[in-house]
Amino acid sequence: MTVASPTVEQISTVKRRSPMSETWEYLRRSRSGMIGLFLIVSHLLIALTSPLLVPQDPLEMNAEARIEAPSTEHLMGTDRLGRDVFSRSMLGGRVTLVVTIVAIILAVIWGSLVGIALGLLGGRIDEVVMRFVDALLSLPWLLILLLVVSIMGTDMWIQALTFGFTYGILTIRVARAATLDFVTREFLLAARARGESTRTIVMRELLPNVRDVLLVDGAMNWSWMLLGFTSLSFLGFGVTPPTPDWGFMIAKNREILAIQPWAVFGPVIMLSTLIIGINLFSDALAKAMGLDRSQGAPV
């Protein structure tokens, strides 16, 4: 019997399971990965500290100083209502970050639970659920988001829930595919043959193996979620004004793009650096974990 002797997969699994330090070592040597991490951390720090640090009140309107070009007083000038663009840009990601970070954690958790369960169970349930998932993904993503947000409302915590639920559907597919990839491998068959309980198999054999895939998928999904959230906000289905928000600021200040372009550049720079940072980091993370990420549209 080959069951007792360690297979190649088992050996490689043991190595992959070794502390995250190996991944970290690789990440540290990746220049783009470090740039990405730097951008993400900077954004988190800005979001946390800016309410105390911004030079001007982001909500204060000033009829005397409308649509002003950048100056020492207003680093990025002012918008149509005379509000300070720099301060608003610094603060404009706070709601976005809270919603997407909470949502991505929810999405990874519920998506992988369902995906792993479907992969292990197979059969009829798997067939039916996947039909629904595929059908849902045949609808335009913006339509799904608009419908969900119109039904559930734009309260920050509700939005975190709805985004978590919606984007978790993408994770179901990934988690299921990763699970299917492993259920037929010898080390899992061996565990079954040893008579281990399903719980033990999932916790000790399966999760450590699909963890990497799910982490990278989560990072990637975070960037898609940002794209979705800011797009809704751009269309006016997001954060309630006057709370500063990048998507909505870009939508509104576009009208004065020709006269005061910094009113648009401010939020554009902030949003772009965050999204590019996440992608540089998740690309490097995928490489560090030995998953060649051939990233495509999340459909």
Q: Which residues bind another protein (CB under 8 A)?
A: 32, 131-132, 134-136, 138-144, 146-147, 150-151, 223-224, 227, 230-231, 234-237, 247, 250-251, 254, 257-258, 261, 264, 268, 271-272, 275-276, 278-280, 283, 292, 294-299
Nearer to another protein, 166 or 171 (CB): 166
CB of 226 to another protein, least distance (A): 8
Q: What is the dihedral of CA 167, 170, 175, 178, to 10 degrees?
A: -150
Nearer to another protein, 176 or 287 (CB): 287
Token representation of residue 228: 């979705």
Shortest Cβ distance from residue 60 to another protein (Å)?
26
DSSP per residue, the chain: --SSSPPHHHHHHHHHHS-THHHHHHHHH-HHHHHHHHHHHHHHHHHHHHHHH-SS-TT---GGG-SPPP-SSSTT-B-TT--BHHHHHHHTTHHHHHHHHHHHHHHHHHHHHHHHHHHHH-HHHHHHHHHHHHHHHTS-HHHHHHHHHHHH---HHHHHHHHHHHHHHHHHHHHHHHHHHHHTSHHHHHHHHTT--HHHIIIIIIHHHHHHHHHHHHHHHHHHHHHHHHHHHHTT-SSPTTS--HHHHHHHHGGGTTT-THHHHHHHHHHHHHHHHHHHHHHHHHHHTT---------
Give the nearer residue to another protein in terms of CB position, either 36 or 119.
36
- For the bound state, the minimum distance from the C-beta of residue 192 to another protein, rounded and expressed in Å, comes to 28
Nearer to another protein, 65 or 129 (CB): 129
What is the closest distance, in whole angstroms, from the C-beta atom of residue 187 to another protein in the complex?
Answer: 26
Closer to another protein by Cβ: residue 203 or 257: 257
- Tell the smallest beta-carbon distance from residue 147 to another protein (Å): 5
Nearest distance, CB of residue 164 and another protein, angstroms? 18
For another protein, the closer CB: 54 or 251 = 251
Cβ-based nearer residue to another protein, 120 or 279: 279
Q: Which of 115, 126, 113, 120 is nearest to 188 (CA)?
A: 120
| Beta carbon of residue 34, minimum distance to another protein (angstroms, whole number) | 15
